[in-house]
Amino acid sequence: MQGWIRDLLRAGIPVYVPEIADYELRRKLLHLGHAASVARLDRFNAAWPARYVPITTPIMRLAADLWAQARRTGQSMAPPEALDGDVILAAQALTLGVPGLVVATSNPGHLSRFVTAEEWRNILP
């Protein structure tokens, strides 16, 4: 994936790092004891601070609305008590207001209900 991101950046394609994605990757790296990978993630985020998308109150409120909409229409993606990372990610993407934004993911099915999402391997520079 590192090379893929590097290729996108070299091609002038902006890459945004949603805080929820950072969290999900970071927790797994920490769990596995991959300190060097955590340090690389920190360096990447520090090098592109304008592209790091923090979780804010408006994002969480939009995520709650998306979650409720999905529940009302029978399109739930997680147990009722779960903090659903997919709707948080979708809300982060929606609040960017970037025309043509595509969320790169390994699970486009859930996200595509709310935003344009593609399998990350299929997004080419």
Where do the structural domains in the chain lie, given as residue ranges? 2-122
| Exposure class string for 13-30: b at 16+ Cβ within 10 A, else e | eeebbbbbbbeeebeebe
State pLDDT tens for residues 80-124: 665 688 899 999 999 999 999 999 998 898 888 899 999 999 998
- The pLDDT value recorded for residue 89 is 95
CATH of domain 2-122: 3.40.50.1010
Helix H or strand E encompassing 119: strand 117-119
State pLDDT tens for residues 22-71: 999 999 999 999 999 999 999 999 988 889 999 999 999 999 999 999 88
pTM of the full predicted structure? 0.86
